[in-house]
Amino acid sequence: MHDLLEKIFLPAFANPVLETRHDSAVLDVAGTRVAFTTDAYVVRPLFFPGGDIGSLAVNGTVNDLAMAGARPLWLSAGFILEEGLPTDTLERVVASMRQAAHVSGVQLVTGDTKVVDQGKGDGIFICTAGVGRVEHALSIAPQSVRPDDAILLSGDVGRHGMAILSVREGLAFESPIASDCAPLSPAVLALLDGGIEVHCLRDLTRGGLATALIEIAQASGLHLRIDEARVPVEDAVQGACELLGFDPLYVANEGRFIAFVAGAEADRALGILRTSPHAAGACRIGEVADEPSGLVTLRSRIGASRLLDMLSGEQLPRIC
Amino acid sequence: MHDLLEKIFLPAFANPVLETRHDSAVLDVAGTRVAFTTDAYVVRPLFFPGGDIGSLAVNGTVNDLAMAGARPLWLSAGFILEEGLPTDTLERVVASMRQAAHVSGVQLVTGDTKVVDQGKGDGIFICTAGVGRVEHALSIAPQSVRPDDAILLSGDVGRHGMAILSVREGLAFESPIASDCAPLSPAVLALLDGGIEVHCLRDLTRGGLATALIEIAQASGLHLRIDEARVPVEDAVQGACELLGFDPLYVANEGRFIAFVAGAEADRALGILRTSPHAAGACRIGEVADEPSGLVTLRSRIGASRLLDMLSGEQLPRIC
């Protein structure tokens, strides 16, 4: 995917907005900053503990807007349906989208549906685009990260990826793992409304917490130090990861993000986050060291330090 | 598709913007009217005379913005690729999108790519969303159509549908039929910049000219009178339609639209349209009668009059 982006899409469409490589493009409409983003959703199975392709298609795009600090306003949805799809499956997905949109206060204002022949699709694919209004004057980006910033995490990690995997592989754990799929805009807007000077935001999707941290370290050129013991992982997720050979730091989430804020504001920011329904488990997991490096150091539970590497090899396909 | 919209999508997402049922939602951003639209593209084959899925995915969405009289500014693109797709196929499609975006002056500012396993997709599906700025103060809608309005058509009809069908069925005609796939915003913006009071615009996609006219007659409650002899149809398209049992008035286009303007402004509007590269063949095909009815009457070449009906039965699948 990284190759496609570097070799085909970026060179073809080169423009300053695309070059920022943010999840959302931030555009100027008559002096108002507007965020615009899109994602295609092909998750398999369509329904999984904690969510489905419908809630994912709304929350995923809402979350990309939230990571620009934008208030999500409007969504578009394009559906590609495979011939023979049961009507009640579509109805369940649409009801789930409606509910997710309601929770985020976002309106679905335009859409399109195409049907493809059997065997040329896979039930339902959904592509949503979102438009939001940027109401703050901050520059929320890796380039705004500063030495001594605190690194806050909005909750436990690894649930979405392990929820999908366990359903797909028919694995039954003692306590079932539910996806963390959730809208992040309430938590982010609470931080901004609370006057917290947010330096950088990143949602932890494909590649998990580790990948998000490494990308921000590289883009900021600073050294991030993380305490592994402070990163919450549910017991069931930890157990499933150990059983299947995954590292929860690299497993996908769909309702978690990290925020970089000035160290002095960290406690107040955590207090605000913890009042938000999907960030009740927010915690401080590390800080930005006062030294250039572009690396992420993880202090493990037993006190040893190691550098976090980009995940090599295959990731789970079709988790979102 | 009409059933899906009426029974599943509209009830689930009911809101005033969606209720307008326009191709584009028109939204307010701090006092500026912004148009927002989306379409999914699943055309088969990916490449056809006169275009490909890439040019279609850009022009189709640009045209939905144009039908709100909006200046197209930004596009998003979501790609769903089938595993095993040759890289050069993707490169050709992306190059075509780039070229189409350049022609329309629209920037692709955000995107996403997903890969699905072989046999779960069909080469490439693309979903684009578009954002444009409404720079006029008109209400361009069927409700603004007035008795004595002239009905203008931007060029010959039936090419896109017959181009796709001829490639798909391996039909060779004496002169090959090329799709009319083209951006409509230059012609529409020329009308608006020329001060023409445009009452209604509609692009002639699935269902063709006849369906667009019937929808506007029904929504306005007025009677539209069309002269069949004034509707341009290329000889090759006419021949193919006769051979295969299609009526060119119902065949899909991807670069044609109708405009309703006050009768007194019709000649000036035609003069402006004909200077635009994709509306050089613009002509007046009829007028709005000063009587309520919600019907469309077609005066045939031999002078007989008949009512146009909504097409019943199957339309060509996957033409866009």
Map out the domains of chain B as residue ranges: 2-134, 142-307
Q: What phi, psi does A149 have (nearest 5°)? A: -60, 145
Secondary structure of chain B: what % helix, strand, coil (to 5)?
Answer: 35, 30, 35
Please choose, from the candidates A256, A240, A231, the residue with its C-alpha nearest in 3D space to the C-alpha of residue A308: A231
Interval B135-154 mean pLDDT? 96
Among candidates A5, A29, A125 on the partner chain, residue whose Cβ is nearest the Cβ of B125: A125
Per-residue pLDDT at A313:
64
Q: Do A131 and B4 lie within an 8 Å CB cutoff?
A: no
| pLDDT confidence of residue A16 | 86
Lowest mean pLDDT among A57-61, A239-243, B177-181: A239-243
Nearest partner of B308 among B227, B201, B237, judged by Cα:
B227
B16-36 per-position pLDDT tens digit: 888 777 889 999 999 999 999
Nearest CA-CA distance, residue B26 and chain A, Å? 9
Q: What is the mean pLDDT of residues B73-88?
A: 96
Answer whether CATH 3.30.1330.10 is correct for domain A2-134.
yes
Asked if residues B133 and A32 have their Cβ atoms less than 8 Å apart, the reply is: no
Residue B217 has φ and ψ, to the nearest 5°, of -60, -45
Neighbours of A171 (CB within 10 A): 14
- At A133, is the secondary structure helix, strand, or coil? strand
Q: What is the mean pLDDT of residues B70-74?
A: 97
Characterize B94-126 residue by residue with b for buried, 16 or more Cβ atoms within 10 angstroms of its Cβ, and e for exposed. bebbbebbebbebbbbbbbbbbbeeebbbbbbb
C-beta atoms surrounding A165 within 10 Å: 20
* Identity at A192, one-letter amino acid code: L
Interface test with A, best of B4, B26, B38 (most A CBs within 10 A): B38
List CB contacts (< 8 A) between B34 and chain A: 29, 34, 131
pLDDT, tens digit, 9 for 90 and up, residues B239-286: 999 988 999 999 999 999 999 999 999 999 999 999 999 999 999 999
- Contact A318/B40, CB-based, under 8 Å? no
Cα–Cα distance between A21 and A19 in angstroms, integer?
5
Chain B residues within 8 A of A110 when measuring between CB atoms: 17-18, 24-25, 36-38, 129
Token pair recorded at residue B271: 């003069």
Residue in B closest to A132 by C-alpha: B29
Interchain proximity A8–B97, CB inside 8 Å: no
Give the confidence band of A19 by pLDDT, cuts at 50, 70, 90. Answer: confident
Q: Return d(Cα A26, Cα A4) in angstroms, integer.
A: 23
Q: Is B219 helix (H, G, I), strand (E, B) or coil?
A: helix
Position A282 scores a pLDDT of 98
Q: At residue B108, does pLDDT exceed 70?
A: yes
Closest CA in chain A for residue B101:
A13
Residues B182, B277: Cα–Cα separation, whole Å: 10
Mean pLDDT of A162-178: 86
Residue A40 is given by DSSP the state: E
CB B78 within 8 A of CB B126: yes
With beta carbons under 8 A apart, name residues in chain A contacting B77. 38
Q: How far is B152 from chain A (nearest CA, A)?
A: 27
Q: How many CA atoms lie within 13 A of B170 on its CB side?
A: 0
Q: Which two tokens stand for residue B39?
A: 């379409």
The pLDDT-based confidence of B48 (bands split at 50, 70, 90) is very high
pLDDT above 90 coverage of chain A, percent: 84
- Average of per-residue pLDDT across A204-218: 96
**pLDDT greater than 80 at residue B60:** yes
**Which of A38, A42, A127 is nearest residue B116 as measured by Cβ atoms?**
A42
Which top CATH class is A142-307? alpha beta
Joined together, the tokens standing for residue A317 give 């396909």
Listing DSSP states for A251-300 in one string gives: S--SS-EEEEEEGGGHHHHHHHHHTSGGGTT-EEEEEEEEEE---EEEE-
Residues of chain B contacting A40 with CB distance shorter than 8 Å: 78-80, 112-114, 127
Please compute Rg for chain B using Cα positions: 19
Q: How many CA atoms lie within 13 A of A320 on its CB side?
A: 29
Distance separating alpha carbons of residues B54 and B52, to the nearest angstrom? 5
The closest CB to that of A112, out of B8, B40, B133, belongs to B40
Closest-approach residue (CA) in chain B for A92: B8
Identify which of B79, B57, B13 has the alpha carbon closest to the alpha carbon of residue B254: B57
CB B200 within 8 A of CB B138: no
Which residue is closest to A16 within chain B, CA to CA?
Answer: B109
Say yes or no to pLDDT of A33 above 70.
Answer: yes
> What is the Cβ-side half-sphere exposure of residue B16, based on CA atoms within 13 angstroms?
3
- Sheet with B107-116, strands from edge to edge, namely B25-29, B32-41, B124-134, B70-82, B107-116
- Model pLDDT, residue A267: 98
A2-134 and A142-307, same CATH topology: no
Cross-chain Cβ contact A13/B119 below 8 Å = no
Substitution target from B13, B32, B79, B108 for chain A, most A beta carbons within 10 A: B13
pLDDT band per the 50, 70, 90 thresholds, residue B314 = low
Residue-wise pLDDT tens digits, A74-121? 999 999 999 999 999 999 999 999 999 999 999 999 999 999 999 999
Taken in order A11, A12, A13, A18, the sign of the CA dihedral is negative
- The pLDDT-based confidence of A1 (bands split at 50, 70, 90) is low
Torsion of CA B264, B267, B269, B274, to 10 degrees: 170
Q: What are the residues whose beta carbons fall under 8 Å from the beta carbon of A275, sequence distance 6 or more? A: A190
Task: Share the mean pLDDT of chain A.
Answer: 94
